[in-house]
């Protein structure tokens, strides 16, 4: 449930993903480094939020989320923003994907009866907060499709061969990135709300050139959806 005291934390991995939020903010506080993450307070349309730039990868993401939860209190909501790779048929560069659930594509304890993607003792997937997810999904974005679905994450940048394996092992995944599930699991462990809206920057091409071409546009589209949703919460 959304409360009046809730602190919204927008978490991104890269400076490129942080930039659209900084440009949209009326005021930006001085950056504070907590562990490896950089925290900034932003005024977005009269609402004060925290922007956390974690660094790339699962461990950086988990550490940044834990630091934010401990710094800002129990009633914190983490919204993951930025870019992702498209996996599913029909997903296009520029689409914004709002996660219903997220899965750790590198977890494999199937030898002990767990499903692919499930870490022993943890859920098979992590569901987004229903109210925040609904606000994200309801955002109308000129020039882009906003989709809902399951998102995967792991510590590998997904190129063609990796994407092929992921489609076989996790046929329901719309996208893949390198942070979201780490944020979700950390939030789950602390009882914090979690949601995600990332834009597709690439379709898991043989190299990183497609990602580099579209990262700025993907970051901007993701930010527009998140900022609009915050205005509705």
Based on the residue annotation, tell me whether 217 is a catalytic residue of this protein.
no
Q: What is the dihedral of CA 69, 6, 2, 38, to 10 degrees?
A: -50
- Residues 190/210, Cβ–Cβ less than 8 Å: no
Number of H helices, E strands in the chain: 6, 11
Q: Which two tokens stand for residue 87?
A: 């996996």
Based on the residue annotation, tell me whether 27 is a catalytic residue of this protein.
no
Q: Which of 101, 129, 202, 220 is catalytic?
A: 202
| 23 burial type by CB count under 10 A (0-12 exposed, 13-18 middle, 19+ buried) | exposed
* H or E element at residue 83: strand 76-86
Q: Which of 17, 95, 101, 220 is catalytic?
A: 17
Active site residues per annotation: 17, 202
């Amino acid at each position: 449930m959304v409360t009046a005291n809730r602190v919204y934390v927008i978490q991104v991995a890269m400076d490129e993903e942080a930039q659209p939020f900084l440009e949209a903010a009326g005021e930006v506080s001085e950056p504070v480094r907590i562990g490896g993450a950089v925290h900034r307070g932003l005024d977005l349309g009269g609402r004060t939020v925290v922007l956390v730039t974690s660094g790339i990868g699962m461990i950086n993401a988990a550490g940044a989320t834990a630091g934010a939860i401990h710094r800002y209190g129990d009633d914190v909501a983490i919204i993951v923003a930025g870019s992702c790779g498209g996996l599913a048929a029909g997903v296009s560069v520029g689409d914004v994907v709002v996660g219903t659930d997220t899965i750790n594509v590198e977890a494999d304890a199937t030898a002990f009866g767990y499903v692919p993607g499930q870490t022993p003792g943890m859920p098979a997937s992590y569901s987004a907060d229903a109210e925040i997810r609904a606000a994200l999904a309801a955002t109308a974005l000129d020039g882009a499709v906003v989709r809902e679905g399951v998102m995967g994450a792991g510590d590998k940048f997904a190129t063609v061969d990796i994407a092929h394996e992921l489609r076989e092992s996790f046929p329901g995944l719309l996208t893949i990135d390198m942070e979201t599930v780490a944020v979700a699991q950390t939030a789950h462990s602390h009882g914090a709300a979690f949601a995600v809206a990332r834009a597709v920057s690439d379709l898991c091409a043989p190299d990183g050139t497609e990602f580099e071409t579209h990262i700025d546009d993907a970051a901007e589209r993701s930010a527009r959806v998140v900022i609009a949703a915050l205005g509705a919460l």
